Structure 1
Amino acid sequence: MPLRRNRDFLLLWAGAAGTMVGARITSIAYPMLVLWYTGSAGNAGLVGAAALLPHLLVQLPAGAFVDRWDRRRMMILCDLGCLLATGSVAVAVLLDRVWVPQLMVVAFVQTSLSVFYQLAERAAVRHLVPVEQLPSALTQNETRGRAAVLVGQPVGGLLFTLARWAPFLFTTLAHLGSLVALLLIRRPFQQPRATRPGTVRADIAEGVAWLWQQRFLRTVLGFVAISNAVFQALTLVLMVTIRNGGGSAALVGAVIGASGVGGMLGALSGMWWLRRATLRTLVVGGLAAWAVTVPLMAFTTDPVSLAVIFAVNSYVGGLFNVVGGVYLVRITPDPMMGRVGAVATLLASGANFLGALGGGVLLGGAGVRVTVLGLSAVMASLVLLAVASPAVRGIARSPDNARMVRRLGRHAAPGRNIVPPAAGGLWLTGAGAAVQRPDGRSIEKV
């Protein structure tokens, strides 16, 4: 059956789309609310950091619980919690009772619940589509996320301009729609499994150990972690630049929305690149593209130029996410999908709060140009590290460096799985091949 006729996948896709749009709306509304109320970039950075801190603190336990609990029920509870959290902000702003500590707490809670939701949703996809359609489903999911940027942040800026409580009310309604969609899905989100023995701490340790064995993956996630922190700071740079130039919140949303166009195009082109480029080429080339575009922000205040820069950067980001998503799902066993996804997200996004916090400090003390040039130096260093990295060089001599879609997707042999079997199997990694037990743990290197 085509994905467009898969009822359960469409419900999950649409519900998650609503929550992502709402999250994008509030991600721009929180710092703008503080910036426009207090005029303090430092306070805006604090709220932004509070919204990003759960990516560091909550990821690992969330991944363990996603593998232990019923994923569908967990997502329902997350929608309920987010609904109440964003609704409380809408009421506070409507009553003109804006308080920075409250915004920090609510932003932290909302993001924490979103972490649980996204990990469960990512793990559930493989149970709602046939294995041969998984690359297409993951591409659609990444396109959905980039489209959420395209729609959410400009809409967030527009709603904020119309009424400062409106972005938070919209997000509340989005979570309500996601809740209804989840209640209508019939199929389970995981394989039948007995109650897991052991502790959550042991589960987390097992997930960390498994991913740490994937030498190439952990190295690239380190590069992505640093670049993600840089882009969090650059988003704050954009807000300050436009505000200092007399621009409106709607203009901020429009410029950031242009990044959604680039990210969506990058996601849509992911399959094209997977057929034509190797993993090593994509990693080094993507980092090099960022190193070229980031310093351009130091020499322009024109909104159109800034929009083009953000769109190009997001194109690379969208492509990276598709490639990484296909690679991660292909090598990860289902009983560990929540934990491995959590560890991967933690490594990639755990330092984001430092980007928002550090960006606010640098902007307050050094100004826009010095801040951007410093961030540009960080991006240039990542290119040099990727070229010199033994893990990235080593992947070029491994089977994993081959064009993945030629072994997956429509180029795969009939009946061949594109995700690992639930029990046993040979797993190829940058560090060698390992025989896996049914629970996903390595028995020995071969």
Structure 2
Amino acid sequence: MAVRPLRSNRDFTIFWGVQALSELGNAFSLVALPLLVLHATGSAAQMGLLTAIAGVGSILTGLFGGTFADRFDRRKILMLSDAARLVLYGTIPICWAISPQIWVLYVVMGLASIFEMLFSVTYVTAVSNLVDNEQITEANGKLEATNAIAYIAGPALAGLVAGLFGATAAITINAASFGVSVLGLAVIRLRPTERPAAAIAQAGAEAGTEVGPEAGRRTGTGTGTRRGWRTLHSGFVTGAAFLWRSPVLRTLTVLLTITTFLNLGMTDVMIYQVRHGLGQSERTVGYVLALSGLGTCIAAAATARLRRGWGFGACWLASYTLCGLAVLLLALTGNVTLAAASAFLYGFGMSLAGICSMSLRQQVTPDHLLGRVTSAFWTIHSSLAPLGAFLLTALVGRFGARGPLIGVAVVLLLLVGAALFTPIRQRAPERSFALPAPNPES
């Protein structure tokens, strides 16, 4: 049976379009929030602290987000997450108009990160419910390409808007973009999640109900509550166990834990370096980040072809080699043009590696486990990221950007060398993937 082209898939096309608009709004906040903190405090460490708080919220949500994505209506979770972020980000310009307070940003970012993580986990599972398995890499490439286009236009426009009307105006645009996403998600349909019979029976037992002729009979409220909490905990454990039993996914998780520790604060450092280290304007900050988005866009458009030609291992290893060299260039240059080039190369490398990694997980993970596996993967590899973001920005604020960035570049290149001796180097790990033995909690 022939696979229909993505352009004829109505639901994917709508999803693709509204997420591109939503990412455009996110790109506005990517610039506006650090600038708001920088205007108020002049501190790189405060910028890093804001990023770290958001990272902590994401990690905590990862403990249960995958279970939600696998057990409940994925479209409704996406809509709820966008609606919550609409309200949260909308409070910033309102509060700032009354009386600027930095603590408002920390509260909003902490809460918004919960819904951001919940949305992100569910977003990954939704792709597999919108397209056929053979189209996952292509679909991810298209989504990432348009997202990257948003990150080309977004930072440049955000810098312009922030310069003319203030950073809160850019945040207002971000809030509105979540409203557009809610409207688009309301008119699409996702395929039902594929669940083996054993998983359905286990889900009913964990929820405190009988599955069978007497379905609908409830157990005691207290028992159901305890089982509900146990379900959330066991969901994360199930996802983590699946990762651990797969050599390539296990290795990816370990190495990405280190890279995310180093990379989470990089956007803050780029903004600080261009704004303070090179003495450039807010508009120039937006242009530099737009070039990072251009690199992401080009990589996204090329990922499917590159992976077919080079294979998974070569793409992943080349990506992080490029990232390490880009960070080294940013550390050593005093020229804004070369700083922009480093942002472009960094965006290209991160995008290529990220799409390859995500597509591999989607291809080898059973659909009924995909939310829990994705959530466990992101939670584990992000576990040290808030600390890393805070330490990196604190070091940059105290000693300048050059030394800390050289350290990041060296570690990234050493990780590439280590990965050469792991299953990551395989050309097509999905073909030789042996499905881990079923877990009774699955």
TM-score interval, normalised by the smaller of the two chains = 0.7 to 0.9
Q: Distance in 2 between matches of 1:131 and 1:42?
A: 43
Secondary structure of 1:286's counterpart equals helix
Shift of 1:306: 0.9
The residue identity in structure 2 corresponding to 1:349 is S
Which of residues 81, 104, 123 is equivalent to 1:121? 123
Identical counterparts, % of pairs = 26
* Deviations 1:129-167 (CA, angstroms, capped at 9, x unpaired): 233333321211222332232222222222221222211
Verify: 1:336 aligned to 2:369, yes or no.
yes
| Residues 229-378 of structure 1 mapped to structure 2, 5 A cutoff | 229-244=261-276, 245-378=278-411
Shift of 1:435: 6.2
In the alignment, is the contact (CA less than 8 A) between 2:236 and 2:375 conserved in 1?
no
What residue in structure 1 maps to residue 74 of structure 2? 71
| Residues 182-201 of structure 1 mapped to structure 2, 5 A cutoff | 182-188=185-191, 190-191=193-194, 195-198=203-206, 199-201=231-233
Q: Distance in 1 between matches of 2:436 and 2:67?
A: 23
Q: Distance in 2 between matches of 1:33 and 1:15?
A: 27
Verify: 1:11 aligned to 2:14, yes or no.
yes
Which of residues 50, 75, 91 is equivalent to 2:53? 50
Q: Distance in 2 between matches of 1:141 and 1:47?
A: 27
Which of residues 79, 100, 103 is equivalent to 2:102? 100
Q: Cα distance 1:80–1:189, how it changes in 2: closer, same or farther (>3 A)?
A: farther
In the alignment, is the contact (CA less than 8 A) between 1:126 and 1:134 conserved in 2?
yes
What residue in structure 2 maps to residue 170 of structure 1? 173
In the alignment, is the contact (CA less than 8 A) between 1:333 and 1:440 conserved in 2?
no
In the alignment, is the contact (CA less than 8 A) between 1:151 and 1:257 conserved in 2?
yes
Shifted more, 101-110 versus 146-155: the winner is: 146-155
Q: Distance in 1 between matches of 2:365 and 2:357?
A: 12
In the alignment, is the contact (CA less than 8 A) between 1:125 and 1:189 conserved in 2?
no
What residue in structure 2 maps to residue 219 of structure 1? 251
Q: Cα distance 1:101–1:196, how it changes in 2: closer, same or farther (>3 A)?
A: farther
* Deviations 1:180-200 (CA, angstroms, capped at 9, x unpaired): 111111444534767543221
Runs (5+) with no aligned partner, structure 2: 207-230
* Deviations 1:191-241 (CA, angstroms, capped at 9, x unpaired): 476754322111221111011111222212332332233333332222222
Q: Distance in 1 between matches of 2:407 and 2:439?
A: 47
What residue in structure 2 maps to residue 418 of structure 1? none
Shift of 1:260: 0.7
Shift of 1:269: 1.0
In the alignment, is the contact (CA less than 8 A) between 1:120 and 1:338 conserved in 2?
yes
Q: Distance in 1 between matches of 2:399 and 2:283?
A: 26
In the alignment, is the contact (CA less than 8 A) between 1:72 and 1:188 conserved in 2?
no
Count of residue pairs the alignment pairs up: 408
Q: Cα distance 1:211–1:196, how it changes in 2: closer, same or farther (>3 A)?
A: farther
Which of residues 376, 383, 386 is equivalent to 2:419? 386
In the alignment, is the contact (CA less than 8 A) between 1:147 and 1:260 conserved in 2?
yes
The residue identity in structure 2 corresponding to 1:220 is L
| Residues 355-434 of structure 1 mapped to structure 2, 5 A cutoff | 355-387=388-420, 389-392=421-424, 396=426, 401-402=427-428, 428-429=432-433, 433-434=434-435
Shift of 1:48: 2.0
What residue in structure 1 maps to residue 64 of structure 2? 61
In the alignment, is the contact (CA less than 8 A) between 2:45 and 2:397 conserved in 1?
yes
The residue identity in structure 1 corresponding to 2:118 is F
Q: TM-score, normalised by structure 1?
A: 0.85
Q: Distance in 2 between matches of 1:120 and 1:361?
A: 33
In the alignment, is the contact (CA less than 8 A) between 1:47 and 1:100 conserved in 2?
no
Runs (5+) with no aligned partner, structure 1: 408-427, 442-446
